[in-house]
Structure 1
Amino acid sequence: MKLKFLGTADSAGFPVHNCQCMVCTYHREKGLKNLSTSAYIKVDNSVILLDAGIEDISNIFDGNDIKAVFLTHFHADHCLGLLRLRHSAQEINCFHPNDKDGFSDLFKHKHSVCYNEIEGFSTQTIENISFTTIPLKHSKNTFGYLIKTKNKTIAYLTDCAGIPKKSLEFLKSHKIDLAYIDACYDERKEVGNHLNYKQASDILDELKVKEGYLMHISHTTLEYILKNKIELKYKYVKAGDEFLVD
C-alpha cells in the first residue's frame, strides 16, 4: 500500500506561465512540472484520492476503481479535477467539509459524484483505512486528515495558516509516523493563508512526528531556498514521491 503525490506545489504550480525565475526555467528546460498538491493511496488496483485539483485526474486514473475522494476544501487547485471526473461511468463518493458554495457547478450538476458533507473529528473507513477530519485555519472551511492504516498513522495537513488548539491537541494525542504539512511561504512572509517553512517545521517539532515533510511549495519559495542555500530541518516532498503506508 503506497501514498503517492501527484503534485506538491501551490495553486500556480511550476513552471509558472512565462516566469523566468531559476525554478521555472529549470523545470521548463528539463520538461518537468509540479502541479497543485494532490495525493492518493493505492491499494491493489484501487485508489483513494486526497484532493482532486489536477485537471487530468480522470485520465490519470482511467482503469482504476476510485474508492473515495477526500477533499480538504473547495479551492480550485484542490477540486478542479472533479469537473471531468464527475462524468465517470463509476459512482464516486466524495467526502468534504461544509461549504455552501462549493466550487463552480459541482453541487448543481453532480452526475456520478456523491457528495458527503462530514464534520470535524469524524471518521470514515474505506478499505480498512480510517480517515479522521482535522479542522485547519484557512480562507475556506478546510480539513486535514489523520489517516490510519494497519501499521501507520499519517497526518495530511494542507492547506493551512495554522492549526486550531483543539486540532493540535488531537494530533498530539497520536503517535504520528508520517506527517505532511503546508509550507507554501518562505521566512519573509509570516502572515497569510498558508504557513512558511519555519512555522510548519515548528508544528512538526511540536507534534513529535517520526518523519515530517513540507508541501504546497511555491516557485518563489523554492527559488529563495536555492539562492540562499538554506538547509531545511524537514524536506519538501516532490511530485512523484511515494511512501509505503502498510
Structure 2
Amino acid sequence: MLDIRILGSGNAGQVPVWGCHCLACVRAKQDASYRRGPCSLEIKTELGITLIDAGLTDLAERYDFDDIQRIVLTHFHMDHVQGLFHLRWSERPEKIPVFRPDDEKGADDLYKHAGVLDFQDPFVPFNNVQFDDFSITPLPLVHSKVTLGYLIEKDNLTVAYLTDTVGLPDSTQAFLSNKQLDYLILDCSEPPTPNAPRNHNDINLALWTYNTLAPKQMILTHISHRLDCWLMEHLDKLPKNMLIARDGMRVI
C-alpha cells in the first residue's frame, strides 16, 4: 500500500506571510493547523519514503538518512528545492537518488556540489518509470521553469500530482483524460480572477480541470493567503469531493 501525505500545502510566500495581517494570516498565527509550508508530498511504502519536492528546510530533522529512498523534483524554483542545500552535506558514503526534469541550470550550485545527492538523468515526459514499490509517469506542466507533474500508480490506484502549473498542456490533458484518477492533487494558488494568473491556477482553472478530468477526489494545494481569505467565505461553493490541502494531511 501507499501512504501519501501532504507535507506542505503553501506557495512560495507560505502562510502566514511575513508582515501580513489579513484574516488568513492572522488565523494561521493563532492556530498552527492553518499554517502552510512549501508545497511538497511524502509517499511512504514498505521500502521507504519518496519525497516529491524538498522545499521544507527541516527535512534533516523530520527524517533519518536511511528513511529517504529517493527524491523526485517537479522543478528547480527555490521553494521546491531549498531543503536539499542542507541534506547534501551529509558525510554518509551512500547516495540518495534525485530524479528531475530536464533543467540544465538547476538551482544555484546544487549540480556542482551535490554531495550525497545523486542527480539522475532527466526524466523523459510520458515515459513511465517503474520503481520497486510503485510507478511514476512524468507529465509536462505550464510554468516559468521546466516543470513536471507526476502520475503515481500502484495496482489499481492512480494519483496525479500537478504543481506548479497554470492550466495543462494539451498533451498532458489528453494523457490524463484516458486515466480514471482516484486522486488529483492540483496547484491552485489564487481565488477567481478575471484573467488567468501567470504561473499558477486560480479557482476558475481548477474547476475547469476538475470538470474535464473528473477525478474521484480532488485536492487543491500550493495555496496562497489570498486564496485562504477567499475560502473563508466561499468554501461551500466548491464541489463536495474537492478538498483543500493542509500541511500533514493524509491523502491515502
Q: Report the TM range for the smaller structure's normalisation.
A: over 0.9
Which residue number in structure 1 is paired with residue 74 of structure 2?
72
Pairwise CA distance, 1:63: 5.2
Which of the numbers 145, 150, 158 marks the counterpart of 2:150?
145
1:136 pairs with 2:141: yes
Which residue identity lines up with residue 228 of structure 2 in the other structure? L
Q: Percent identity?
A: 32
Which of the numbers 105, 118, 134 marks the counterpart of 1:101?
105
Q: Would you say how many aligned residue pairs link Structure 1 and Structure 2? A: 244
Pairwise CA distance, 1:202: 1.2
Structure 1's unaligned 5+ residue stretches are none
Indicate conservation of the 8 Å contact 2:45/2:133, yes or no.
no
1:22 pairs with 2:23: yes
Structure 1: how far apart are the matches of 2:47 and 2:58? 19
Indicate conservation of the 8 Å contact 2:47/2:69, yes or no.
no
Structure 1: how far apart are the matches of 2:63 and 2:130? 21
Structure 1: how far apart are the matches of 2:19 and 2:86? 27
Indicate conservation of the 8 Å contact 1:68/1:126, yes or no.
no
Indicate conservation of the 8 Å contact 1:197/1:214, yes or no.
no
Indicate conservation of the 8 Å contact 2:95/2:118, yes or no.
yes
Pairwise CA distance, 1:86: 1.4
The two structures have a TM-score, normalised by structure 2, of 0.92
Matches within 5 A, 1:1-246: 1-32=2-33, 33-44=35-46, 46-62=48-64, 64-88=66-90, 89=92, 90-116=94-120, 117-188=122-193, 190-227=196-233, 231-233=237-239, 234-244=242-252
Structure 1: how far apart are the matches of 2:235 and 2:208? 20
Indicate conservation of the 8 Å contact 1:5/1:38, yes or no.
yes
CA shift in 2, pair 1:201/1:119, >3 Å: same
Q: Give secondary structure in 2 for the equivalent of 1:243.
A: coil
Which residue identity lines up with residue 30 of structure 2 in the other structure? E
Which residue identity lines up with residue 173 of structure 2 in the other structure? L
What is the CA RMSD across the aligned residues, in angstroms? Answer: 1.6
Indicate conservation of the 8 Å contact 2:6/2:251, yes or no.
no
Structure 1: how far apart are the matches of 2:78 and 2:128? 25
**Greater Cα shift, 28-37 or 203-212:** 28-37
The two structures have a TM-score, normalised by structure 1, of 0.94
Structure 2's unaligned 5+ residue stretches are none
Structure 1: how far apart are the matches of 2:166 and 2:118? 29
Q: Give secondary structure in 1 for the equivalent of 2:171.
A: helix
Indicate conservation of the 8 Å contact 1:67/1:126, yes or no.
no
Q: Give secondary structure in 2 for the equivalent of 1:181.
A: strand
Which residue identity lines up with residue 247 of structure 2 in the other structure? A
Pairwise CA distance, 1:84: 1.1
Which residue identity lines up with residue 127 of structure 1 in the other structure? D
1:5-39 deviation line (CA, Å, top 9, x unaligned)? 11101011111112111111111122442101101
Which residue identity lines up with residue 198 of structure 1 in the other structure? N
**Greater Cα shift, 225-234 or 155-164:** 225-234
Which residue identity lines up with residue 38 of structure 2 in the other structure? S
